[in-house]
Each structure stands twice: as C-alpha cells, then as structure tokens.
Amino acid sequence: MPIPAANDPQSLRQAVLDHMHVGMTNQTILAEEGGPLLMESAEGIYVTDVEGNKYIDGISGMYFRNAGHGREEIAKAIYDQLTNVSMNVYSGATPKTIQLAAKLAEITPGGLSRTFFCQGGSEANESSLKMAQAYHVRRGEKGRYKVISRRGSYHGSTYGTMWLGGHPGFPRIDYQPKPANVVTVGQPHYYHDEYGANSPEENGERAAKEIEQAILFEGPESVSAVIGEPVSQPLGGVVPPSNYWPMVREICEKYGVLLVFDEVITGFGRLGEWFGADFVRVTPDIMSFAKGITSGYFPVGGSISTQKIADAFAGGPDKVWSHMYTYSAHPGGAAAAFANLAILERESLVANARARGEQVTESLKEMKAKHPIIGDTRGVGLIQGIEFVKDRETREHFDASLGVNAMLTEELRKRGVWIRVPAYILPIAPPLTITPDETDTLLNVIDEALGAVESRLGI
Ligand SMILES: Cc1ncc(COP(=O)(O)O)c(C=O)c1O
C-alpha cells in the first residue's frame, strides 16, 4: 500500500487500521467507531479533524494539555532550543534543563529540591520507586523493596508500574505474574465504601489504617514506599477526605516508609492548586510528574525528591544512583516546560482551573437531580467525573454488553465534544484555558448527551 497523503482521510483511515497499534483499542473497534480522530489542527480547547469537524477536547488530549492547544510560543521555544543546543552528551547537562530543575525546586511544595528527568509518567514512577529503594539500600536497609499502592489507581504501563494500583479500564490479564514487590490496598472512596464507614472521614481513616496494617503484615523492614495520586483520576476524580493523606504521611514516618506522590495528572494546576500536594497539604518524599509540565508539547516527566533523599546518593562511586534513560533531561523538553509554565503563570490558569471547577461542580449537582442515570458526581478543579449507574439505590453498573459508555461517547461526539468514555465514568478534564462560556457549552452538551442515552435505554 502506498504511503497515504496527509489530505486523504480515507487512505489515512485504512492505513491506521493496517499499520498501527493505537493505544488501548484495536483495528476492529476503531473500524466500528469510524477510525480514530485524525487531527488536523487545534486551538484553545478545540481540535479539528481532517474532514473539518470541530470538537471540544473534554479530556485535554489525555489530561496533559493544561495550557490549551495551538500554543505557538511553546513550539517556537522548542525550535529555538533545538537549533541552538539540541541534546545532552552522556552524563552532561544543558543550561536550560538546569534552570528547569531550579524552577521546579522553587514552585513545588515543601523541601522538594532535586529532580531526575525522564520522558513520561510511567518512567517517572519507575524512577521514583527505584530512587526510594536505592535510598533505603544506601542507608543500609537492603530489605526494603515492597511498594504499597491502591486499588483503582493508575501509575503507568511499563512492567514495573502496571501492577501498581488497579485501573478498572486497564486489565492486565496478559501480563502475569504480578511482581513480588507489589502490595495492594484500598483507597478512600465513600461512594463505594469498602470499610463499613459512616462518614467520608471514617472512610479516610480506615483506608489509612489499611496501609498501616499492610506495613505491619508485610513487616516494616521490607517496605520501601507508599505510592498514590493525591486525587485519583481513574475512579472519576475521587477526592479523599482531608484527614487521609496527613494520616498516611504520619504512618509512613512511623515506619520509615517513603511517601511517593504520583502527580502526573494533578501536577501543574489541574486541581486549582499548583500541585496535588498543595491541595491535600502534605509533602511527599518524592513526587512524580509528567503531562502538564509541558502541556504535552514535548514528552517530559520526572521525579523530584527532598534533599534528605538526594543526599543518600552523594559520596563515592558506591553511592551513585545507577539509573538513566538516553533522552533524560532533553533541553527541548526543558524549553517547552519553561514556555508552558510562563503561560500558566501569565494567564493565571491555576486560578482559572479552580473557578471553572466550581462551575462544573455546581452544574453536575443540577444534572444529578435531573438524570436518573447519574449515580455520583465528584472531583475538584478540572478533574471531575460522573459515575453512571443502572440503579441509584444499589449503585450497580450497566451490563458491559449494553455498551452505555460507547453510546455516551457517540452522543457527545454528535454534539461536538470529544471524550472517549471508559467503563462507567464520564471524565471531565478540559484544558485549564477554558472560559466560563465554553464551560457552559461543554456542560450543556454533556447534559443533552446523558438525556439522549437515557432515551436510548428507555429510561
Ligand atoms: C496518574 C498517572 N500516572 C502515570 C501515568 C503514566 O504516564 P505515561 O502514559 O506518560 O507513561 C498516567 C497516564 O495517564 C497517569 O494518569
């Protein structure tokens, strides 16, 4: 088959079916859905495909496009950087990346101060957990290798990260066995309380205590770290009660276990605070970040730790942290990050995420009163979600064979909103640039799409 022309949608659609693995789908499903979105241009919160259809991007690409689409100044910053210094040499560093590390030390909370850079979220979590384990080894605690993570979370798709947590939409049936270092516990989620709690606070307290029980059961001397997202996206923006993370922090301190925050989605403004750590008022020992640091204009991730952790790797050759990726600390990525952070600051996008988040929360409450299909609405800032259920009382989900999520995806698309709806949660996470009017438009479409799905289901 000849290489398809960029302006020939039909050949492109055939070629994608013939020649690509597109993430988390396959050619049969794509063919049924009419192919992936073939994006031709994008501006602000909108993406336009090669046939001229324009959609609101309801999940910021994949929770990364914080500064919105079409930012020429980020593209130009990358160009200017690459035409000057385009990459490191082995064990080198470029001025732009050094400056970015210093900037991150300034804007992240608490004593986080030293960064290892990589290319994305999975690598960031791999790096954070390797850093945690190596830290313990340098301090003479070689037995601390286990990682406690929480059901419902998602921390990446590499072998070392995919068994952490347990994303309902990310089955791991092909990849056995579960690594021996992974310990799994629950997380606070009052709507689906698994602890018999009578309040969100009690749910939070019991979830924190489950972590303590797991540490004691495994043996504290074998546990390296607890990893979690300050606010968890896969379950639809589950905001833990305010007692949870401070309790987990205390438990970690008590048993010498490190706390790792996965801020791949929550970092850089999405919650209406610069970081999830600011929102939950707890500073981790290590923070993983990616996505929003460049708004996806260049693949950058990283792990930033406190000085205490970093100091374990100072000294002779036996102290060196043996970890690297060829493209770590790419100056093009640093240039993209600087340009992106300048936009977030100049346009007060973190404050906008907070204000638009309040607008979304209010509107979702109204929708819940109107649509029997809505079981719960939750979230904060621009990471919110609607959980749709068959039965509000039992909180039971629709049978997967009904394809309610696909129906919702279709009804949203027909009305100009691009959100690929997973299992039973409609995520709402537009770019942080969204205006009040655009937010209303997005919410009206969601309202109408829910109504259309209810009609199709005869509700
Ligand atoms: C919270 C979280 N951590 C880690 C990852 C993995 O990041 P990446 O896909 O860049 O490897 C993701 C990706 O969606 C994520 O949402």
What single string gives the DSSP state of each residue in 246-304? Answer: HHHHHHHHHHT-EEEEE-TTTTTTTTSSSSHHHHHT---SEEEE-GGGTTTSS--EEEE
Atom of ligand 1 nearest to the CA of 123: 11
Q: Give CA–CA dist 198/185, Å, rounded.
A: 20
Assign a CATH topology to domain 73-346. Answer: Aspartate Aminotransferase; domain 2 (3.40.640)
| Dist. CA 291 → ligand 1 center (Å) | 8
| Dist. CA 299 → ligand 1 center (Å) | 12
Instruction: For ligand 1, say whether the CB of 264 is within 6 Å of any of its atoms.
Output: yes
Which residue, judged by its Cα, is nearest atom 8 of ligand 1? 121
Q: Give CA–CA dist 453/451, Å, rounded.
A: 5
pLDDT of residue 35: 80
Instruction: For ligand 1, say whether the CB of 229 is within 6 Å of any of its atoms.
Output: yes
pLDDT along the chain (459 residues), means of 10: 89 93 90 86 96 96 98 98 95 95 97 98 98 98 98 94 85 88 97 97 98 98 98 95 98 98 98 98 98 98 98 96 95 98 98 98 98 98 97 96 95 97 95 98 98 97
| Dist. CA 37 → ligand 1 center (Å) | 21
| Dist. CA 158 → ligand 1 center (Å) | 10
pLDDT of residue 173: 81
Instruction: For ligand 1, say whether the CB of 155 is within 6 Å of any of its atoms.
Output: yes
| Dist. CA 220 → ligand 1 center (Å) | 28
DSSP 337-371: HHHHHHHHHHTTHHHHHHHHHHHHHHHHHHHHHH-
Cβ partners under 8 Å of residue 153, min gap 6: 164, 165, 166, 167, 187, 227, 228, 229, 232, 234, 262
Domain ranges across the chain = 37-67+348-457, 73-346
| Dist. CA 154 → ligand 1 center (Å) | 7
Q: Give CA–CA dist 435/56, Å, rounded.
A: 12
Tell me the two tokens of residue 399.
């049978």
Contacts 24+ apart (CB under 8 A), 27-33: 33/406, 33/409
Choosing from 155, 231, 261, 300 the residue with most ligand 1 atoms within 8 A of its CB, the one to mutate for a pocket test is 155
| Dist. CA 452 → ligand 1 center (Å) | 32
| Dist. CA 457 → ligand 1 center (Å) | 33
Beta strand pairing status for 39-43 and 46-49?
antiparallel
Choosing from 154, 266, 295, 425 the residue with most ligand 1 atoms within 8 A of its CB, the one to mutate for a pocket test is 154
CATH number, domain 37-67+348-457, options 3.30.465.10, 3.40.50.720, 2.40.50.40, 3.90.1150.10: 3.90.1150.10
Atom of ligand 1 nearest to the CA of 232: 1
Tell me the two tokens of residue 370.
């109107």
Atom of ligand 1 nearest to the CA of 125: 4
Global model pTM greater than 0.85: yes
Instruction: For ligand 1, say whether the CB of 122 is within 6 Å of any of its atoms.
Output: yes
pLDDT of residue 170: 77
Instruction: For ligand 1, say whether the CB of 156 is within 6 Å of any of its atoms.
Output: yes
